[in-house]
Amino acid sequence: MNLYALLYERFAAALDCPSLALPSAAKGARVPAWTYGDLDGASARFAAALQRRGVEPGDRVLVQVPKSAEAVALYLGVLRCGGVYVPLNVAYTEREVAFFVSDASPRVVIRGGGGVGEPGSGDGPRAIGIDALWREARSFDPDPAIERRADDDLAAICYTSGTTGRSKGAMITHRNLTSNALALYRIWGFEPGDVLLHALPIFHVHGLFVALHTAFLNTSKVLFLPAFDAAEVRRLLPEATVLMGVPTFYSRLLAEPGFGSADCESIRLFVSGSAPLTEAVFGDFEGRTGHQILERYGMTEAGMITSNLLDGERVAGTVGFPLPDVEVRAVAEDGAELPAGEVGMLEIRGPNLFAGYWALPDKTAEEMRGDGFFVTGDLGSVDVEGRVTLVGRGKDLIIAGGFNVYPKEVEDRLDEVEGVRESAVIGAPHADLGEGVVAVLVAEGGPVEDDTLRTALEAGLARYKHPRRFYWVDELPRNAMGKVQKNVLRERYHGAYCA
Ligand code: MCA
Ligand code: AMP
């Protein structure tokens, strides 16, 4: 079934109810909320405009646009005409976007603004600005049709960085999205009257799928903020019942002077994920507000995998139990399943599991077991009751403020800079972002100025991936095989951001 058909079943009974409410750019003032009828109508118009531009079922629609109600309607419009939605981080540079365009070979590329026929990135189609597409879309009558889709048809391709430095497109089906949305909607107890406070970006699984799908299944009002701002979120908390965020949201709320239980009286659920929630933040938040943050675990390739319980103990430092129909096991290096409590590689299986990496069958095969389990790259354990604890990552990944940074991609850029012989990029503890990116470099001659490095990175790498600390060494520590010992570097530069 097309995910949009499922959503529309709910929307149809709530056409006059508020969907996206947008606190305006001038803080305090409000523009009228979109209703579910507005959202449905706008998505139908976008679908018509996309079809006019040649989009057929299965075609990729690549989208790099700022967060807005129109952007959400565009996403739903792509679903309803059977297209495959390919969202991109707005921070990506032209060089990064050019790669995604060449990899996904989209029928249509939509960027921010009102431009029409602007040069696209690389060899792809010319880009159209979302404002221009919306103007075009409004000239169409909304066509109520929803394209039929099979469960295994693709709904989205979400890019996730790779250990090789090359991004991989995770192919996500209608079944993946539908099963995950329904499971979360049930286990997180969505109920009439719930209002979601939405401050996440909508180009990743967390803000786009987890937050919006659950709220939409409930036809909830969504307080839709352009980005996270602690003071603004705090101001709006009394109008909301649910907040979903990355751990940085919670540590920044705690840093607001006087923040406490009075701010949270209307809230029934705080959810955290995408990066580890420290026991300190969990404990401080409970101490100050009386709320236990509900931590869950997910990844682009599988949506949500586990969650702490809505009713029941939420244990700090654990990510809870597998979602209904999802299986999680910890395995040893030889692939054998480990006894309860022992730490190994986590593998998962279930209706949430993606259909593979776009145009990378070998890469897909490498990460799939014969019995259909997927190797997550996360290290953890499963206790006798089935509760999962993450203890680290087997993959060389840094998570800064909920955004993933793969060291290899940053190292490749640094190594191109004149005067740099080689580099090693690691994550170091960061009070605000969880981890911060650190570069350790070996010079050809004398050290290169930090500013020169920054300027060189600027051209091709989104700024959240940039190291903010640079250290020069005579040589990188290596093991007997010649491999850089990142664990040694992580220890040595542990205090880079928290000295
Ligand atoms: C912004 N900057 C960052 C980050 N965000 N640097 C490192 N890591 C970041 N996450 C940099 C910008 O480049 C800029 O630097 C400066 O910080 C200020 O930018 P601003 O936009 O004002 O940032 P902010 O308000 O401080 O944003 C921090 C944030 C935001 C609120 C934590 O990054 C955020 O909303 N993160 C959520 C990410 C997310 O949704 N992840 C879900 C992935 P300069 O001034 O030098 O340019 S989905 C996933 O992981 C799975 C499926 C799961 O389980 O959910
Ligand atoms: P992404 O590739 O952006 O989907 O990021 C997925 C990765 O984020 C997972 O493989 C985990 O390493 C990490 N992650 C997600 N949720 C949590 C969590 N609650 N605690 C720790 N790590 C998490």
> Mean pLDDT for the chain?
95
Instruction: Kindly state the average pLDDT of the residues 364-393.
Output: 96
CA distance 403 to 256: 23
Q: What is the pLDDT of residues 328-341, one digit of tens each?
A: 999 999 999 999 99
Q: Which residue has the tokens 């006798």?
A: 384
Phi-psi category of residue 46: left, alpha or beta, with phi > 0 → left and psi -120 to 50 → alpha: alpha
pLDDT of res. 40: 98
- Which sign, positive or negative, has the C-alpha torsion 306, 311, 312, 316? positive
Q: Of 340, 350, 352, 351, which Cα lies nearest the Cα of 373? A: 350
Kindly tell me if the per-residue pLDDT of 132 is higher than 90: yes
Q: How confident is the model at residue 356 (pLDDT cuts 50, 70, 90)?
A: very high
Other CB atoms within a 10 A radius of the CB of residue 476 amount to: 18
Average pLDDT over residues 288-309: 98
Q: For residue 276, which ligand has an atom nearest its CA?
A: 2
Predicted local distance difference test score (pLDDT) of residue 125: 84
User: What integer pLDDT is reported at residue 28 of this predicted model?
Assistant: 60
The phi and psi torsions of 92 (rounded to 5 degrees) equal -65, 140
For the chain, counts of helices (H) and of strands (E):
15, 23
**Residue 212 to residue 10: CA distance in whole angstroms:** 13
Which ligand 2 atom lies nearest to the CA of residue 377?
A: 10
Instruction: Pick the residue whose CA is nearest to atom 49 on ligand 1.
Output: 274
Q: Which residues contact 483 (CB under 8 A, 6 or more apart)?
A: none
Ligand 1 atom with the shortest distance to the CA of 91: 13
- Which of 399, 404, 405, 465 to probe ligand 2 with, by most ligand atoms within 8 A of CB? 399
* Distance separating alpha carbons of residues 433 and 401, to the nearest angstrom: 4
Strand order in the sheet with 469-472: 420-430, 434-443, 469-472
If residue 63 lies in a helix (H) or strand (E), which one and from where to where? strand 60-64
Residue type, 73: A
CA of 93 to the centre of ligand 1 (A): 15
| pLDDT in the model for residue 116 | 79
10 Å CB burial of residue 270 (0-12, 13-18, 19+) is buried
The token duo for 227 is: 């980005």
Neighbours of 337 (CB within 10 A): 13
Which segment of 12-26, 46-60, 70-84, 117-131 scores lowest on mean pLDDT? Answer: 117-131
Give the other-Cβ count within 10 Å of 440's Cβ: 25
Of all protein residues, the one whose alpha carbon is nearest to atom 55 of ligand 1 is: 274
pLDDT, tens digit (0-9, with 9 covering 90-100), for 213-255: 999 999 999 999 999 999 999 999 999 999 999 999 999 999 9
Q: Give the residues surrounding ligand 1 with Cβ less than 6 Å away.
A: 200-201, 204-207, 227-228, 246, 248, 273-274, 298-300, 400-403, 433, 463-464
pLDDT in tens, 107-121: 999 999 888 777 777
Residue with tokens 């409410």: 21
Q: Identity (one letter) of the amino acid at 274?
A: S
Q: Are 304 and 297 in contact (CB under 8 A)?
A: yes
**Which residue has the CA at smallest separation from atom 12 of ligand 2?**
378
Phi, psi torsion values for 288, nearest 5 degrees: -80, -35
What is the residue with the minimal CA distance to atom 23 of ligand 2?
275
Q: Closest Cα partner for 32 from 44, 45, 23, 43?
A: 23
Q: From 334, 318, 442, select the one nearest 381 (Cα to Cα).
A: 318
CB 295 within 8 A of CB 422: no
Q: How far apart are CA 61 and CA 134, in angstroms?
A: 15
Residue-wise pLDDT for 189-212, tens only, equals: 999 999 999 999 999 999 999 999
Question: From CA 494, how far away is CA 55, in angstroms rounded?
Answer: 49
pLDDT at 162: 73
Rama region for 434: left / alpha / beta (φ>0; ψ in -120 to 50; rest): left
List the Cα angle 174/222/435 in 5-degree steps: 75
pLDDT digits (tens, 9 = 90+) for 174-189: 999 999 999 999 999 9
What does the pLDDT average to over 48-71? 97
Whole-number Å distance, alpha carbon 403 to ligand 1 midpoint, is 6
464 CA to centre of ligand 1 in angstroms: 7
How remote is the CA of residue 19 from the centroid of ligand 1, in Å?
25
Q: Cα dist. 431→97, 150, 283 in Å?
A: 30, 45, 16
Nearest to 234 by CA among 264, 212, 201: 264
Span 255-279, pLDDT tens digits? 999 999 999 999 999 999 999 999 9
How far apart CA 173 and CA 175 sit, in angstroms, is 5
Residue 25 in this model has a pLDDT that exceeds 60: no
Answering whether pTM is above 0.75, one says: yes
Which of 358, 406, 327 minimizes the C-alpha distance to 154? 358
